Chains A and B, each alone.
Chain A
Amino acid sequence: MQDLSISIVYIVYAMGLLLTFGAILTWVERKQGAIMADRIGANRAYLRIPFTQVKLIWLGLFHGMADGLKLLLKEDFKPVAYDELAYSLGVWAAFVPVMLVFAVIPFGGTLDPGRLFPGLAGWFAGRTYAMQIAPIDAGLLIVFAFSGISIIGAMLAGWSSNNKFSLLGALRAGSQLISYELVMGLTVLGLILIFGSVNLMTIVQRQSGTVLGFLPAWGVFYQPLAAILFLTAAVAEGKRIPFDLPEAESELISGYFTEYSAMKQGMFMLGEFIEIAIIAALFVTLFLGGYNLPWMSDAGFALPGGHVVAMSHGAVVVTQIVTFLVKIFLLCSFQILVRWTLPRFRWDQLLGFAWKFLLPVSVFNLVVTAVAVWALA
Chain B
Amino acid sequence: MSSRKTYVRPKYWNEPEMGWYEKAYLFEVVRGLAITGGVFLRNMAKWMTGRKGALTSYYPEETRPDYAIHNRGKHVLTQRPDGRPQCVACNMCATVCPAQVIEIDAAFDPDDPTHPKYPSRFEIDYSRCVFCGLCVEACPEDAIRMVKETPDFPGPDRDHMWAAKEELLNWQPAKDVAKPYPVPGATPTGGGQ
A interface, CB within 8 angstroms of B: 32, 34-40, 228, 337-338, 340-342, 353, 357
Contacts and interface: CB of A to CB of B under 8 A. Distances in A.
B36 A36 contact: yes
A35 B44 contact: yes
A35 B55 contact: no
A357 B25 CA distance: 11
A228 B26 CA distance: 10
Q: Among B40, B53, B58, which residue has the most Cβ atoms of chain A within 10 A?
A: B40
B33 A338 contact: yes
B54 A35 contact: yes
Interface residues of B, number: 18
Nearest 5 interchain pairs by C-beta: A341-B36, A38-B55, A36-B40, A40-B54, A35-B43
B129 to A, nearest CB: 24
A70 B34 CA distance: 36
Interface in B28-50: 29, 32-33, 35-37, 39-40, 43-44, 47
A342 B29 CA distance: 7
15 contacts: A36-B36, A36-B39, A38-B53, A38-B56, A40-B56, A40-B58, A228-B26, A337-B33, A341-B32, A341-B33, A341-B35, A341-B36, A342-B29, A353-B25, A357-B25
Contacts of A338: 33
Nearest to A32: B40
A210 B33 CA distance: 29
Given A340-B36, A341-B33, A342-B29, 9 more contacts: A35-B43, A35-B44, A36-B43, A38-B39, A38-B56, A40-B54, A337-B36, A341-B35, A357-B25
A38 B36 contact: no
A38 B43 contact: yes
Interface of B is mostly: helix
A32 B41 CA distance: 10
A340 B54 CA distance: 16
Given A32-B40, A337-B40, A39 B55 contact: yes
Nearest to A228: B26
Contacts of A228: 26
Contacts of B40: 32, 35-36, 337
B36 A35 contact: no
Contacts of B44: 35
Contact of A35 (B26, B35, B53, B58): B53
Contacts of B32: 341-342
B19 to A, nearest CB: 17
A138 B37 CA distance: 37
Contacts of A34: 54
Nearest to B37: A337
A342 B53 CA distance: 22
A3 to B, nearest CB: 44
Contacts of B54: 34-35, 38-40
B33 A39 contact: no
A57 to B, nearest CB: 11
A272 B40 CA distance: 23
Nearest to B33: A341
A32 B35 CA distance: 14
